[in-house]
Structure 1
């Protein structure tokens, strides 16, 4: 005699047949779905472009085209090397045009001023609304240089050679002539190995 046991019957999975049918109507709805999605993306891109252009125009109008930010003053510290007009010329500013402060590259202006022979260091800043602040550290001369073989006369005049405490030789600026007139003259012999470099 056989025992009766209860067996679990496996449930049969329903068999599904997937069929994709393409008809003109289905293709039309697919195209419409694609067109709507593309239109939404296009609207978002257009809105972002318009917002970016508006911000750019606002910045241009608020800063670069604003007459309140035109250069009116050059605030230069007291020094014996350069004055305000020479500063503007050295930086490349046309004072008659009154440029906008934001059109002036302050880092390049500081580099141009530092490259002048009588200036050790220069700093240029914008102070709104209309001031360009310039701070220069002039070289402090210690003596006049003379070397007749290299055509450097020891005359105490503008353009004559001065030497500062660090041994840097530079031509005397006109503004520094009065303060340097009492300095001693050092006469140097000519040397091929050690020429006087400005």
Structure 2
């Protein structure tokens, strides 16, 4: 058979390359001098770069870092209940005798925000010598108590607080007096651990909070009127007021139950009674007990001492006759 011709012709060429290395003393000396001169040139260039860097570093040290003009002259901290100047230095490690350049704003802010009682912070360096720090403390909303976790009921001195965002934190010393008027949420169990700085995740708290929200909507002064709220078995909550009322609520229809409580209190006040306990679960039958009202005390009046009447003439004669 005949092979079909194509227009492409493949040609194989073999190219042989001859490499020859020629060496002589003169060529060796020339290459050696060129290598030495290159090494010296690069060494001098590196030395110049190092010297320039050293000079710049000394200039920065002398002109900025060790310059008395840039030392910390004023530490400005905004007025807040969470942290004072002494604790600020302990937490952040700021050296008051150091330079403003030694202060890293990001690190200082991170150390402040890590505190559970602080929600936000800002740090700025205002040259030549002012370090300005502004912190925002968490606002107390409610007390949290859980006996199983070592926080006793009504233990406002050792309890944790929670803000409206649901974050736990220890009560700042500057807020302690005003926070004493806030209600206590008494948890039956801890659920997840109560960790300061973390968000509270607890089913008991969610139920108690729903009741408190309703009280806030219907009674403007609820925060100062309610002393504590705790769960009652599995079907309700017990709300205790600061004037000694224990009101038992179911978990549903809270608006109606709160309205019944306020109406019952008003009715008892008009009659001069004080409610002790009331169960608001039912719509019609709502058992109520009252505090004993002490009867008015009688003020003892000293009896008037009667003056003896003067004797008549006949009575005097009869007395003398009897005395014989």
Q: Shorter chain as normaliser: what TM range?
A: 0.7 to 0.9
What secondary structure is seen at the aligned counterpart in 2 of 1:165? coil
Q: Distance in 2 between matches of 1:109 and 1:179?
A: 29
- Map of 1:56 onto structure 2: 57
The farther-off stretch of 180-189 and 46-55 is: 180-189
1:26-78 CA-to-partner distances (Å, cap 9, x unmatched) read: 65555444433433332222212211111122122222222222222221122
1:155-185 CA-to-partner distances (Å, cap 9, x unmatched) read: 333x531111012121112122133232222
> Under a length normalisation based on structure 1, what TM-score does the superposition of the two structures give?
0.75
Q: Distance in 2 between matches of 1:78 and 1:109?
A: 18
- Map of 2:82 onto structure 1: 81
If you compute each CA radius of gyration, which structure gives the higher value, 1 or 2?
2
Q: Distance in 1 between matches of 2:182 and 2:138?
A: 14
Unaligned runs of 5+ in 2: 1-21, 197-324
Cα gap change, 1:27 to 1:187, in 2 (>3 Å): closer
Deviation at 1:113, TM superposition (A): 0.6
Q: Distance in 2 between matches of 1:143 and 1:73?
A: 37
- Map of 2:169 onto structure 1: 170
- Map of 1:93 onto structure 2: 94
- Map of 1:10 onto structure 2: none
Q: Map of 1:31-70 to 2, 5 A cutoff?
A: 31-70=32-71
1:87-129 CA-to-partner distances (Å, cap 9, x unmatched) read: 111102244xx12222222212111111111101122222212
Deviation at 1:148, TM superposition (A): 2.4
Give RMSD over aligned pairs: 2.4
Unaligned runs of 5+ in 1: 1-19
Q: Distance in 1 between matches of 2:41 and 2:81?
A: 67
> Under a length normalisation based on structure 2, what TM-score does the superposition of the two structures give?
0.48
Bigger relative contact order (CA 8 A; separation at least 6): 1
What secondary structure is seen at the aligned counterpart in 1 of 2:128? coil
